[in-house]
Amino acid sequence: MQSDVMPQPPPRQDRVDQTDMAVGEVLRRTRLYYNLEIEDVEKALRIRVSQLLALEEGDIEKLPGRVYAIGFVRAYAEFLGLDGDKIVHLFKTQFVGTKRRPELNFPVSASESKLPNFYILLGSLAGLILIIVMFLIVPDLKQDRSIPEAPPVVTVKNTIPFGPPVPQKREQDSAADVEETSEENIRPVVVLHVTDNSWVEIRNSEGKAIISRILKNGDRYIVPDEEGLVMDTGNIGALEFMVGDEKIPPLGELGDVRRHILLSPEALRPFLPASQNRQE
């Protein structure tokens, strides 16, 4: 288990809330507040480092286009736990502006008249006459049509069941056996309790991230019952672990970075307080 101690994060009141600050600077300061490297954001959002740096530096000319830039800003802001709508509005105000598209008035040629063409009128009149003639010649289509009678419903008396009834006692006994066996094999559940905002990434044995975002104060995350899960976090001091009914205190101080933490009950039990270990 590696331990990289990062500088203590700034006080809460220093977090960026000013709307007169550039959007890129807001994003950059918030990322640094959570002890995140730019590569961590790239891996979580699938946005290239060069484009993330362009956002932070306000160099929108390096972004693929207006729509993509707004999407990148929203995704980056929400990943950091910011209000995506407010950050996008601020970005539009600073960079996109409120330019109105010019109204294009194309001249209409004299031949493009709103009056219907003579041949169109003639064709419509001929069609109307044809419809009237059809109604006069064709017999009434609303005459009664013979409806075949439905076949009589055959009722079967004294229905015979197919085979003898299945005994129920054995099924109940089997269910009881399964319940007893499952209770013996149940593994304790690992739960994360968050006491302060913290970036967390959990990966499976194949290296695929199953969660990569900022968990906020009061959040509770149930770790999947899966072998080989490891966790990286930018604030280990804000995380408490529950292994079944046993509580494990934070594995470091607020602001400490920890990587490759195994999340299996067996790997976390050694961190239980000494009193609980003696009771076991």
pLDDT (tens digit per residue) in 129-141: 878 767 676 555 4
Place of tokens 């290296």: 207
Look over the chain and give the mean of its residue pLDDT values, rounded to a whole number: 75
Would you say residue 236 has pLDDT above 80? Answer: yes
Q: Where are the domains of the chain?
A: 11-96, 190-279
The model's pTM is: 0.51
Distance CA 201, CA 45 (A): 12
To 5 degrees, how large is the angle CA 227–CA 230–CA 236?
140
pLDDT for the residue numbered 116: 56
**pLDDT > 60? residue 162:** no
77 versus 162: which is more confidently predicted?
A: 77
- Model confidence at 70: pLDDT above 70: yes
pLDDT at 239 over 60: yes
Candidate from 72-86, 166-180, 206-220 with smallest mean pLDDT: 166-180
* Residue 3 confidence (pLDDT) above 50: no
Comparing 4-8, 151-155, 199-203, 255-259, the range with the smallest average pLDDT is: 4-8
Least confident of 84-98, 99-113, 211-225: 99-113
Paired tokens of 61: 């000319």
Predicted pLDDT at 72? 93
Burial 122-138 (b: 16+ CB within 10 A, else e): eeeeeeeeeeeeeeeee
How many whole angstroms separate alpha carbon 188 and alpha carbon 225? 9
pLDDT at 5 over 70: no
Higher pLDDT, 242 or 164: 242
Q: What average pLDDT does range 149-156 have in this prediction?
A: 50
Residue 192 has pLDDT above 80, yes or no: yes
Average pLDDT over residues 36-45: 92
Mean pLDDT across 112-139 = 69
Report the CATH superfamily, name and number, of domain 11-96.
lambda repressor-like DNA-binding domains (1.10.260.40)
Q: What is the pLDDT of residues 78-94, one digit of tens each?
A: 999 999 999 999 999 98
Quick one: pLDDT at residue 280? 53
How far the first Cα of the chain sits from its last, in Å, is: 25
Q: Is residue 114 over pLDDT 90?
A: no
Residue 192 neighbours by CB under 8 Å, 6+ apart: 200, 215, 219, 220, 221, 223, 239, 240, 241, 242
Mean pLDDT of 169-186: 52
Contact 254, 35 (CB under 8 A): no
Is there a contact between 23 and 55 (Cβ–Cβ < 8 Å)?
A: yes
190 forms beta bridges with 243
Please give the residue that has the higher pLDDT: either 75 or 115. Answer: 75
Whether 158 has a pLDDT exceeding 50, the answer reads no
Predicted pLDDT at 21: 87
pLDDT the model gives residue 66? 86
Which one is predicted more confidently, 191 or 112? 191
